[in-house]
Structure formats: C-alpha cells, structure tokens
Structure 1
Amino acid sequence: MTLGIWLVRPEAEALAACLAARLQGVVHRPVGEQKAQFAQAYRRHTQWIFIGASGIAVRFLDGLAQDKHSDPAVVVLDEAGRFAVSMLAGHEGGANALAYRVAASVGAVPVVSTASEALKPLVVGIGCRKDVSPERIEAAVRLALGEHGIDQVREVATVDLKANEPGLLAFCAAFDLPLRVFARATLAARPWVSKPSDWVRQNVGLDGVCEPCALVASPRGRLLVPKTSLDGVAVAVVQDQWMEI
C-alpha cells in the first residue's frame, strides 16, 4: 500500500513532513485549483491523509467514491493535529487502522464511527515488560477478560514507551486490534491506580500503566476489571457505560 498526504495549506507543512517521515508517505503540495488536482491523484495511492477541514475533504471527495472494497482509505487530520478522522473506506479499506496510525504518530485522537468497531464495548489497557511474547500477552488478556471474548474489544491502549514493543504489536495484529498510544504526561494527569507498582514508577515514571491507559481511552467508561497481572503483563479492562443502559 502507498500513502499520499494531501496538504491543503502550506501552514501545515511541518505536520505533513512529520507524517511523511513517520509513516513513509508522499506529500502532495497542490498549487491553484485543488479539487481537480485531487481527483486526478485520487487513485494514485491506496491510502490518503487529508490535512485540512473535514468540509473541504467532503467536497473534494464528492463523486470519487465508488466501492468501499476498492476506494482508497481516507483519513482527515486537522491542521493542529488533534483529531484523525476515518472518513472513507473505514473498515474494509483500512481507514480505521490508518486513523490509529496517524493518531499514534502525532498524538491525535483517532475518530472511528463504523458500526463494526463502535458497538464493541471494551477497551483493554496493557503494560508489559520488554520483549514479552505475543502469546504471553494473549494469555494475560484472556485471563483479564474472563467470560468476555477478544472480539468484544474495540481497542488496546498503552503508554508511549511501549508503542513499538514487538510482542504487543504482534498481538494486536493477530487479532486485528488497533493500538492507541498515550504520552506519559497524559497518563500522569489521571494518576489513580488500584495497585501502584514500584517497578513501573522507577522505569516508566508512573504508578501504573494499564488502568490509566484504559480509562483515558474510554473516558465515559467504568473499570470493569482492575489491574490483572500474569507473567510480566498487566491488563485492565474498561467497559463503556452506555452498554449498561
């Protein structure tokens, strides 16, 4: 898959350069009438990051979409890098996954509205030791979930220190789960944890990882399963409260 980055205004050049470097994308810097240029470039890539307002993106996409199985994935990112919105070809085309990748690369909030993801009520927070295998992560997650299945999990959340942890990435890939990454400063703003860890405090600078990650990822949720540890992996589960209504 190839990634195109459409730069609506030159003011967002630094953001586009950051995305291009971190996600291996090609930046398009149009001059003049942009809508026609975007239409010509639309099929050149299988994925697009559109840096600009969602209203502009909607107008540019007008008449271009044909089929969710073949349309390029489109994610809209505002110029401040706050929200990465899965706009087109969300599940089948990979825009949902791309939204999480964009969000992780610039510290944005991923916005996904497809029913297949939105109706999953659980968020799993994970903290783990270095080089933990995906099998050990899976075992810890299944222990924490209990009677709930992995198919009920909407996303996995972790701290930025673990953003590239091989076992965690492999686990998420195996179960097609998006990984949401939070900066340590963001997690420190929600310091409460049920079981503070001296090891985590010394090595990460936080009292805990899994519970804050899950709670920040689902701010309207409640802690369904507090920190559960198994073989170097700590897991917490948060459930959306609206599912209990």
Structure 2
Amino acid sequence: MTLAVLPVRREALPLAQALSAGLNATLLRPWDAARSPRDLLHAQFRDFGGWVLLMASGIATRSLSGLPISKLSDPAVVLLDEGARFAVSLLSGHEGGANALAYRVANLTGATPVVTTATEATRPLTLGIGCRRGVTATTVEAAVMRAIGERLTDVREVATIDLKRDEAGLLDFCDTHGLPLRIFSARDLQARPFVTAPSAWVEHVTGARGVSEPCALLASPRGTLIVPRLVHEGVTVAAVEDRWTPQPPTAPEVQA
C-alpha cells in the first residue's frame, strides 16, 4: 500500500517525518506547496492507498468532505493528533486497511489505536503474549488454545513487548488469524506492573516484571483478567475480557 502523511501545521513536521520514515510513506508539506491541506488532499486523494492525517478531527472531516465514494475503493485514512495520543481508523477501516494502518501508526508513536468497526470493536478479548526467541506460530497457537479454548474468534487484538515486534512466529500467528499486534515498551509495562507473579528473570531480560499480563491489561485497561499468565512451551499467554455494561445513574449530591 502506498502511503502519504499530511500534517496541517509546520509544527507537526518532526512527528510527520518520523511517521513517513517508519511507514515508508510520502510526506506532503502543504506550506511548501503553497496549497491548503484540503486542496492537497482533494488533488491527490486517490494517488495513495492510505493516508495519515496529522490534524484535528474537525479539520479532517471538512477536508474529506466530498471525497469518499465506497468502502471498497476509498483509500484508508487514519487520523492522528499532534500529541500522538490517538490513532483513529477514520475511513475504509476493514476493507481498505485503515484498522491495520492505525495499529502501525500506534506502534510507531505510542498512540492508542482507535477502531470502531463492529467486526473488531465488539470482540471482548485481548491477549497478552510473550515468547522465547524463535518460537513457531504453531506453538503460539497451541498456547492460545490452551488459554482460551475455542474463543479465538472473540479476540480483538494481541499485545506484546517491543522486543518481540519482529518475532516471526508471533507475527505469523497474528497474520493467520487477522489479528492486530499492539506493541508496548518495557518502560510502559514497568510503569504498570499488573502481574500476579512478577518474574526476576523476565525483568532481567526485558526490563519489565512481566509481559503477557501487563500487556493484556494495558491494552484493555477497563477489562478483567480472566486467564492469568499461562506458560506453554516457551510461550506465555494472558487474556483480558472487556464487555461494556450499563452503569446505574448516580444520585446527585445534595448541597447542605
């Protein structure tokens, strides 16, 4: 997929440059072209398979006005705020690849990926997975099946530590099942040590007290740990379930 990064302000250039390098994308500079971001977007919208828009949601909405035709043919569009806090799959999420692109942007910047398509968003399970080097996809799948049984279709995403971002067996497992892989740094995990059994060995190797449990809980912070760290042939798996339930209204405070 050919990609373009479009910042609306010159102040976002360092972030835009980092993104374009990490995504192997074309960086468009509207201030150099003496054209508005909207004009650039309308002129080149279908020249790229995907766009990362560095701008506010209101600007993005107005800039995209009149461009979308069909989710089957529109380019993928991901919206990222200049603070790199949220990477939002905005257009052509499932069919066009914006959901996957949102995770790529998130993993590059530390942003939270935001996916709202029903197919993905209604799945309640998040898996945290750690593994030894060179583990196979078959072994990863066997560990997952031991952890959650037949609920693989309920999995929304997989999370792991940055040391494992290029682990072939884990990537193959995620690719086979169409699951996005979310990456956390050891620093993020260490700051949120949600583990039932911290491991001195894991901390020595990775810099974090644990991988599978803190990854799953950090990726799904309002969820409940339903499968604590399970070990199978060099793979650790933890599962968190996140289901929204309506909360009873709270009574207003009565001022004395």
- Residue 105 (structure 1) aligned with residue 90 (structure 2): no
Describe how 1:41-60 pairs up with structure 2 within 5 A: 41-60=44-63
Deviates more, 1:79-88 or 1:187-196: 187-196
Matches of 2:127 and 2:208, distance apart in 1: 18
| Matching residue of 1:36 | 39
> Partners of 2:245 and 2:138 in 1: how far apart?
30
Residue 143 of structure 2 corresponds to which residue in structure 1? 140
Q: Residue 76 of structure 2 contacts residue 98 of structure 2 at CA under 8 Å; is this kept in 1?
A: yes
Alignment of 1:73-92 (within 5 A): 73-92=76-95
Question: 5 Å matches for 1:150-169?
Answer: 150-169=152-171
AA matched with 1:11: E
Q: Please name the residue that 2:250 is paired with.
A: none
Map 1:174-185 onto structure 2 (within 5 A).
174-185=176-187
Q: How many percent identity over aligned positions?
A: 53
Question: 1:218 and 2:194 equivalent?
Answer: no
The whole-number CA distance in structure 1 between the counterparts of 2:192 and 2:108 is: 22
CA RMSD of aligned residues (A): 1.4
1:189 equivalent in structure 2 = 191
Q: What SS does the aligned partner of 1:181 have?
A: strand
Look up the equivalent residue of 1:160 and give its one-letter code: D
CA distance in 1, matches of 2:26, 2:88: 19
**In 1: Cα distance, 2:164 partner to 2:219 partner:** 16
Shift of 1:136: 0.8
SS in 2 for 1:59: helix
Check conservation: 1:222, 1:241, Cα contact below 8 A.
no
Q: Supply the distance in 2 between the matched residues of 1:241 and 1:7 (Cα, whole angstroms).
A: 35
Q: Does residue 230 of structure 2 align to residue 228 of structure 1?
A: yes
Corresponding residue of 1:23: 23
Q: 1:138 to 1:244 in 2, by over 3 A?
A: farther
Q: Match for 1:85: what amino acid?
A: V
Indicate conservation of the 8 Å contact 2:6/2:37, yes or no. no
- The CA distance in 1 between the partners of 2:40 and 2:246, in whole Å, is 48
Deviates more, 1:100-109 or 1:33-42: 33-42
Query: Normalised by the size of structure 2, how large is the TM-score?
Result: 0.92
Are the aligned partners of 1:75 and 1:99 in contact in 2 as well (CA < 8 Å)?
A: yes
Q: Secondary structure at the match of 1:75?
A: strand
Task: Quote the offset at 1:114 in angstroms.
Answer: 0.8
Contact map agreement 1:229 1:235 (CA 8 A) in 2: yes
Deviation at 1:103, TM superposition (A): 0.2
* 2:176 partner letter: A
Shift of 1:82: 1.1
SS in 1 for 2:244: helix
Q: Do the aligned residues in 1 keep the contact of 2:194 with 2:217 (CA within 8 Å)? A: no
Does the 8 Å contact 1:158/1:213 carry over to 2? yes
In the alignment, residue 5 of structure 1 is paired with which amino acid? V
Between 166-175 and 116-125, the greater mean CA deviation after superposition: 166-175
Q: How far 1:243 sits from its partner (Å)? A: 6.3
Q: Distance in 1 between matches of 2:185 and 2:205?
A: 15
**SS of the residue 2:196 aligns to:** coil
Unaligned runs of 5+ in 1: none
Structure 2 unaligned regions, length at least 5: 248-256
Counterpart-to-counterpart distance in 1, 2:208 and 2:222: 22
- Give SS of 1:242's match: coil
User: 3-state DSSP class of the match of 1:188?
Assistant: helix
